[in-house]
Amino acid sequence: MAKYIFITGGVISSLGKGITSASIGKILESRALRVSLMKFDPYINVDPGTMNPYQHGEVYVTEDGAETDLDLGHYERFTHAQTTKFNNVTTGQIYNAVISKERRGDYLGKTIQVIPHITAEIKARIKKVAEVSRAQIVLAEIGGTVGDIESLPFLEAARQLGLELGKDNVLYVHVTLVPFIKCAEEIKTKPTQHSVGTLREIGIQPDVLICRTEKALSNEIKEKISLFCNVQKEAVIEARDVASIYQIPLVFKEQVLDEIILSHFKLISRSSQLKEWEKDVVTKALNPKYKVCIALVGKYTTLQDAYKSIYEALVHAGIANDARVEVKKIDSEDIEKQGAQKVLAGVGGVLVPGGFGYRGIEGKIKAIKYAREKKIPFLGLCLGMQCAAIEFARNVCALKEANSTEFKPQTKYPVISLLAEQKKIKNLGGTMRLGVYPCKIKKKTLAARIYSKALIHERHRHRYEFNNKYKKYFEKKGMIFSGIYPKRNLVEIIELKEHPYFIAVQFHPEFKSKPDLCHPLFREFIRAALQLCKQF
Ligand code: GLN
């Protein structure tokens, strides 16, 4: 039978519950335990797929095509556990399921209530993850902050599961803030006491406290927190701000959190193996030899979370190339106003990420033209590939009005368009080409050199495709179609001859990059950018 760890958050949001969960997953995995990580999101949307990135941050896509919370990206980057549609559950999904059952008559005339029906559905989802993943330990992160109205049913379900399965099988971790008040020069434990107090009112006594803090926690402070919160002193874990998120598993390991969890569960396992992580990830991330600046030309550049997996993949590419990758976040509308030369001068590479809608597109196209003409390494992702095709059509193939039908439905040259069968689709939620698809790589191309493989599998999230009507003409003008989804003959990768690194893909490689195994498209992109910098 699986054991369960619930991770809750207190005092404020943005304490890094996702990274904490992923790091706990990592230290348990390093002791040869099979883990699975899941996230409960208390909002009523069925999934984040239709939400504005400014509201929600990046939508992370799983292999099986679920549109999920970005914390699942942390889970996959830190551990080997693969997430699926079962690993992200929202209030919307829970109510959807319960109401469908009620309509079918499954409840045999009963009054349907939050307790026990909604909580039963939540517990069933946790057990489902254990069953599907066959994990020994399931870590369930509960979104929001303790005290919020909407996360109450999830906390109640977590409490019930503890009662049902017994103390040896369930552990509660609470992530909390221990602020340092500058004018008083003091660390304050009261917010943590209150937040744990709220949890205890609900019936949950945390077993472990992860204390987010700027300063070291003294022995006395730990003792105080332990006494007031009724948590063993050694289970009061200090989580100080660190330079790299990939240090956190090591921080936990140092405070023997893995041992604390194992002894709570009465589990015995081999000793921890984190040496490689320390050597190949953390040490390299902290001590790079080179530096390179990459321009990310997007639309949601003021929000740190909107391109989360891309930023992380660039960190991984830095680790792989012994370099610090500095990201210059550029709002593509600034390029529309000021011109590419002014905004992009001096950067080592240009990356155009995915996105939706017309705003900012012309600026992205200008940035791509600049990278193509000045021979600056370019990586286009999803919408970035579509923009590269439009740029090529307009400026190389002289199809001046070329566009995507997403932006201009009646365009004269629809180089990016919907497939005929997609035109009938009315619903916006979950109706894109989603999840993993195979892609065949053409021999003797840049893509073949990057991947060293003939067949790859990458994750998708888009509706529009390259229009094959223009393929021959583009080829004649120097574009190479180096990756194809064979079953439906869809273009997956485009590249250019006579350019050091110009490659764009219809999929999202950023979702599969890991700190200890950088995605090759990012690794080679940074390698090319570094080479360009060395020439300066
Ligand atoms: N808007 C484009 C499409 O739907 C690209 C999507 C994306 O970049 N994820 O095809």
- pLDDT of 197-208, one tens digit each? 999 999 999 999
Atom of ligand 1 nearest to the CA of 384: 8
Q: Alpha-carbon distance 526 to 323, whole Å?
A: 9
Atom of ligand 1 nearest to the CA of 381: 8
Mean pLDDT of 484-502: 96
Residue 328 has pLDDT above 70, yes or no: yes
Residue 536 has pLDDT above 70, yes or no: no
Q: Which two tokens stand for residue 274?
A: 């984190």
Q: Residue 473 in contact with residue 397, Cβ under 8 Å?
A: yes
Span from the CA of 506 to the centroid of ligand 1 (angstroms): 8
Q: Give me the long-range contacts of 159-168 (CB less than 8 A, separation at least 24).
A: 159/202, 159/203, 159/204, 160/119, 160/123, 161/4, 161/123, 161/126, 162/204, 164/123, 165/1, 165/4, 167/264, 168/3, 168/264, 168/265, 168/266
Atom of ligand 1 nearest to the CA of 356: 1
Q: Residue 100 in contact with residue 88, Cβ under 8 Å?
A: no
pTM over 0.85: yes
The percent of residues in the chain predicted with pLDDT above 90, rounded, is: 89
Query: Which amino acid, one-letter code, is at 150?
Result: E
User: What is the pLDDT of the chain when averaged over all its residues?
Assistant: 94
If you take atom 6 of ligand 1, which residue's CA is the nearest one?
462
Span from the CA of 51 to the centroid of ligand 1 (angstroms): 14
Residue 383 has pLDDT above 80, yes or no: yes
Mean pLDDT of 230-248: 97
Atom of ligand 1 nearest to the CA of 383: 8
Centre a 10 Å sphere on the Cβ of residue 120 and count the other Cβ atoms it contains. 14
Atom of ligand 1 nearest to the CA of 357: 1
Q: Which two tokens stand for residue 169?
A: 């099988």
pLDDT of residue 56: 81
- What per-residue string of b and e applies to 431-452 under the rule 16 or more CB within 10 Å gives b? ebbbbbbebbbbeebbbbebbe
Mean pLDDT of 21-43: 97
Q: Where are the alpha helices (DSSP H) in 398-491?
A: 446-451, 471-476
Residue 181 has pLDDT above 70, yes or no: yes
Q: Which two tokens stand for residue 57?
A: 């941050």
For a pocket test of ligand 1, which of 60, 67, 381, 386 has the largest count of ligand atoms closer than 8 A to its C-beta?
386
If you take atom 5 of ligand 1, which residue's CA is the nearest one?
383
294 vs 40, 286, 311, 330, 435, CA distance in Å? 34, 19, 11, 10, 27
Span from the CA of 297 to the centroid of ligand 1 (angstroms): 15
> Given the DSSP bridges, would you call strands 490-496 and 3-9 parallel, antiparallel or unpaired?
unpaired
Bond preceding residue 249 cis, omega within 30 of 0: no
Q: Beta partners for 328? A: 295
- What per-residue string of b and e applies to 63-77 under the rule 16 or more CB within 10 Å gives b? bebbbbbbbbbbbbb
Centre a 10 Å sphere on the Cβ of residue 341 and count the other Cβ atoms it contains. 11
Span from the CA of 52 to the centroid of ligand 1 (angstroms): 14
Span from the CA of 89 to the centroid of ligand 1 (angstroms): 24
Q: Is 508 a catalytic residue?
A: yes
Within 6 A (CB) of ligand 1 lie 354-356, 382-383, 386, 406, 461-464
299 vs 238, 256, 355, 359, 362, CA distance in Å? 37, 42, 8, 8, 11
Q: What is the DSSP string of 183-224?
A: TTTEE--HHHHHHHHHHHHHT---SEEEEEESSPPPHHHHHH
Confidence of residue 52 (pLDDT cuts 50, 70, 90): confident
First to last CA, the chain: 60
pLDDT of residue 69: 95
For a pocket test of ligand 1, which of 50, 383, 461 has the largest count of ligand atoms closer than 8 A to its C-beta?
383
Residue 429 has pLDDT above 70, yes or no: no
Q: Alpha-carbon distance 66 to 68, whole Å?
A: 6
pLDDT of residue 503: 98
- What domains appear along the chain, each with residue ranges and CATH number? 3-173+246-266 (3.40.50.300), 280-534 (3.40.50.880)
DSSP 53: H
506: Cα within 13 Å, side-chain hemisphere: 28
52 vs 60, 95, 180, 303, 425, CA distance in Å? 13, 22, 34, 12, 21
Q: What is the DSSP string of 378-419?
A: EEEETHHHHHHHHHHHHHTS--TTEEETTT-TT-SEEEEE--
Of 382, 387, 397, 439, which residue is the catalytic one?
382
Contacts of 422 (CB under 8 A, 6+ apart): 463
Confidence of residue 193 (pLDDT cuts 50, 70, 90): very high
Of 312, 508, 519, 524, which residue is the catalytic one?
508
Q: Alpha-carbon distance 315 to 524, whole Å?
A: 13
- Is pLDDT larger for residue 292 or for residue 11? 292
Span from the CA of 80 to the centroid of ligand 1 (angstroms): 28
Radius of gyration for the chain, computed over Cα atoms and rounded to the nearest angstrom: 25
pLDDT of residue 14: 84
Q: Alpha-carbon distance 6 to 38, whole Å?
A: 10
Please identify which residue in the block is written with the tokens 């997403």: 406
Of 58, 76, 121, 510, which residue is the catalytic one?
510
Span from the CA of 502 to the centroid of ligand 1 (angstroms): 20
Residue 422 has pLDDT above 90, yes or no: no
Mean pLDDT of 68-95: 97
For a pocket test of ligand 1, which of 406, 459, 505, 507 has the largest count of ligand atoms closer than 8 A to its C-beta?
406
Q: Residue 360 in contact with residue 334, Cβ under 8 Å?
A: no
Span from the CA of 383 to the centroid of ligand 1 (angstroms): 5
Q: Which two tokens stand for residue 343?
A: 């905004």
Task: Please state the length of the chain.
Answer: 536
DSSP 179: -
If you take atom 1 of ligand 1, which residue's CA is the nearest one?
356
Atom of ligand 1 nearest to the CA of 353: 8
418 vs 50, 84, 406, CA distance in Å? 19, 27, 8
